[in-house]
Structure 1
Amino acid sequence: MAPPSPGEPASTWTFLTHHARVLLEIARDPQVRLRDIADRIGITERAVQGIVSDLHREGYLTRGKVGRRNHYTLNLERGFRYPTEAGLPVGLLIDLFTQRDLPPGHAPAGAATVPGDAAAHRSGAAASR
């Protein structure tokens, strides 16, 4: 498909849904504020609240408090929702995007960890996914 002509609006679709983007932001920082997620991905804070509720209800994350801040724990063993990918854990997507800019053998600073994930435990990350 050719790029849009001058004056023609560019296509607005993307490969990742807002749900995937919210999950990625939480994986990068388990104590992230919903306002900050909204700013980073370009949607409203209310939309982020709805997405976090969806992810919580479907078992992709749990919420807790650390001081006055929310803290999220991800369940990265949970499979994708679409039938053709249902057998794959969402942790694969998280790993792909949270580790893409790292040298081999390094986990992202402050990223959540998966129980039993030796590489993440070596990094000293305190949060669990």
Structure 2
Amino acid sequence: MEGVPEPHAGWTFLTNHARVLAAIADDRNARIRDIAVRCRLTERAVQKIIADLEQAGYLSHTREGRSNTYRIDPGKVLRHPAEAGVTVASLLSLLAQDEADRTGMPQSASTSRGSE
């Protein structure tokens, strides 16, 4: 069925919330459809995750015409007690390094992720 992501069996290192946040960090103007494809989620799941992130203060958006521009709060601390003191910026920096390793891009080019 078109538009439905492939199912994934087993565990993963990142939550869907982290994946969506990283996708938005890469493109602050990303459409829900594009985030869903990148994260291999349904659009409905992405909408719910964005709502969760906004309600918790990690993310906000501004409507510009027919599209949204997202803003990430880089200083917001992660929720789990095991990550006490770890900020969103630190998480995104770690994910950016991983992306740089995969793509061969220098770290400095991959760390400007639109989180102003």
TM-score band by shorter chain is 0.7 to 0.9
The alpha-carbon distance between structure 1 residues 81 and 68, as it changes in their structure 2 partners (threshold 3 A), is same
Partner SS state of residue 54, structure 2: helix
Q: Percent identity?
A: 43
C-alpha separation in 2, matches of 1:66 and 1:29: 15
Report deviation, 1:76. 1.2
C-alpha separation in 2, matches of 1:55 and 1:62: 8
The alpha-carbon distance between structure 1 residues 57 and 106, as it changes in their structure 2 partners (threshold 3 A), is same
Partner SS state of residue 30, structure 2: coil
Q: For residue 116 of structure 1, what is the aligned residue in structure 2?
A: none
Q: Which 4+ runs in 1 deviate beyond 2 A?
A: 104-109
> In the alignment, does 2:94 pair up with 1:103?
no
Q: For residue 114 of structure 2, what is the aligned residue in structure 1?
A: 112
Instruction: State the AA in 1 paired with 2:89.
Output: G
Normalized per residue, which structure has more helix? 2
| Structure 2: segments with no counterpart, 5+ residues | 1-7
C-alpha separation in 1, matches of 2:97 and 2:29: 18
Q: For residue 16 of structure 2, what is the aligned residue in structure 1?
A: 18
Partner SS state of residue 109, structure 2: coil
Paired residue for 2:78, among 80, 85, 91?
Answer: 80
TM-score, length-scaled by structure 1: 0.73
- 1:1-129 equivalences under 5 Å are 11-100=9-98, 101=100, 102-108=105-111, 111-113=113-115, 128=116
Query: Size of the alignment, in residue pairs?
Result: 104
Give the CA RMSD over aligned residues.
Answer: 1.8
